[in-house]
Amino acid sequence: METVEMNSVSLKRPHSEDDVANADEIKRQKISEKSQTGNNSGQSVETVKEQPDKSLLEDTKNEIIPNEEGEEQEDEELEDSDEDGDPESFADMMKHGLTESDVGITKFVSSHKGFSGILKERYSDFVVHEIGKDGRVSHLDDFSVPVDDEDPSEETFTVLSDEDKQRLEELQLLKNKETSVAIEVIEDSKEKRTVIHQAVKSLFPGLETKTEDRDGKKYIIAYHAAGKKALANPRKHSWPKSRGSYCHFVLYKENKDTMDAINVLSKFLRVKPNIFSYMGTKDKRAITVQEIAVLRITAQRLAHLNKCLMNFKLGNFSYKNHPLKLGELQGNHFTVVLRNITGTDDQIEQAMNSLREIGFINYYGMQRFGTTAVPTYQIGRAILQNNWNEVMDLILKPRPGAEKGYLVKCREEWAKTKDPAAALKKLPVKRCVEGQLLRGLLKYGMKNIISAFGIIPRNNRLMYIHSYQSYVWNNMVSKRIEEYGLKAVPGDLTLKGATAVHIEEEDVHNYTIHDVVMPLPGFDVIYPKHKIGEAYKEMLVADNLDINNMRHKIRDYSLSGAYRKIIIRPQNVNWEVVAYDDPKIPLFTTDLDKLEGKPLPVLPTDGKFRALKMEFSLPPSTYATMAIREVLKMDTSIKNQTQLNTTWLR
């Protein structure tokens, strides 16, 4: 089947109501082609051809973070788009970004006609609930704190002044040369002194206290118990032996990613982020609910943060003897609203029934590959090729696309001087990948790029290689579906337990497309026996890589490979179409709304707009965007979305 590239309409931001109307009229002009290829199963497979008339995302700068769990979940998005700047310049810059076809996303499995809708017009239109390893869906539905006689009194949190807390924090974090902090006891009594002792020890792990008389006045003296180590390992002797060492709680957050939330909690609690654990990171531009565990922090102390936290709440507290581990979850349950949909009731019914019965191609989503003209998979390929000069060049060279202003200036300085120190001075934020690489070059010199690159955190370095694996997998799956359609064929791979085996001719009738897996390239996988096995080799040869030698001389960059199902069928699929007049009103209640007793707005029976409310559950390492793409039949790339509709930047 021939792949036809999507065309798109580039629109400027409307500046008035008339402009908005004109823009809507333009967007209603579809540019589409359509073809279908039948297969023996009677199901059709479409190439990306149909161009809907509106953008998938109202806010295209905020991509849907992948529902990635397990080891790969630790990958972080390495490219940030510029949050400032005028919309025309952003839309213009995004012309240099990737489209789906650039990363091998070219096929659909359903036969319905595509329609348009707006995803994440409000971040509250996208809600994610984590599904634990026991199959239980996480909900925030209880703010109560477990009763514990060992907990400090409420006065503990208010007895210290802001000035005292500032001085104690600086002492705790070793930010000055002071070896102790003295707090005068104004209303001297044993009870008052006890509360101050408790407050210091509870709020500032690692500090000890004692009472001293100075000039006839009583002072509580705070000092370090065990130096820096005490900060990462909260005081063991202050924790009751009868209580589990970990406080588990449900984190409800809005428009903030998981690591940002944990960093905020760490700051408020004055502890290191590494005492928190979780099963997977969640979307930023969304409302998400997930379980978190923290080492030796009381539920009472955590609950107290609800009074001062913005955009997230903590609840459902319990004490347990174990932390959480990445990848332990069963998946995530999504509640999604697609606003201003144009599909007929029949189209929607066909689309959702297809999603439930057939599923969607398990592509790696666009956020896996970055947002600028230098895709992350290109850097991964250069690492695998052992081409370190190209790795350095790809990360640091100027690039078209949406980036923060300081990164643009840093790249320009690098191109002009090749001086790591000069380029580093242009970066106010040194923790970005560019800053880390420049610091490495400053430390190890331009002739030791491997060591300089090694300064970047391991998970971020591996993200580039995983991106290349994903790029290969997407392309190979598109070829597989184009060549053999939606049925299992001899030579395909399926899993027996954790082991991949080939499907033989005599057994092929025992398998469906939902049993078929494809490998991510590596030294510990086998490949299909049909044409697609050869296609893997050809693709890697074209990239100057040897499929039979995926071990890298640097162990970290050796690819063992893995297997991934090519079709995912979501579970618990439900949907309804609702009418509404006001784009700003929520169309369902969240966990927090229910706790606060907020009623759902009364919706009109015949509103100006229609929305599709859909729910479904996905296993780990799958992308909700790819499920929604299958329903709408449209390109989910920022480039395409921006060219179609930039009115979100008004």
Interior/surface letters 47-85, b for 16+ CB within 10 angstroms, e for the rest: bbbbbbbbbbbbbbbbbbbbbbbbebbbbebbbebbeee
Which one of 283, 492, 591, 635 is the catalytic residue?
283
CA distance 534 to 527: 9
Q: Helix, strand, or coil here: 1?
A: coil
278 near 328, Cβ under 8 Å? no
Classified as helix, coil or strand, 148 is coil
Nearest Cα neighbor of 482 from 368, 566, 364, 359 is 566
Cα torsion 405, 411, 417, 422: sign: positive
Q: Is 134 a known active-site residue?
A: no
Burial class (CB in 10 A: 0-12, 13-18, 19+), 18: exposed
Q: Three-state DSSP class for 496?
A: strand
Give the Å distances, CA to CA, from 207 to 172, 199, 204, 308.
Answer: 7, 11, 6, 24
- The span from the CA of 424 to the CA of 438, in Å, is 6
Interacting residues of 409 by C-beta distance below 8 A, sequence separation 6+: 426
Strand order, beta sheet including 562-565 = 499-502, 493-496, 516-520, 562-565
Distance of alpha carbon 178 from alpha carbon 646, whole angstroms:
54
492 contacts 502 by C-beta, under 8 angstroms: yes
By annotation, the residues acting in catalysis are 283
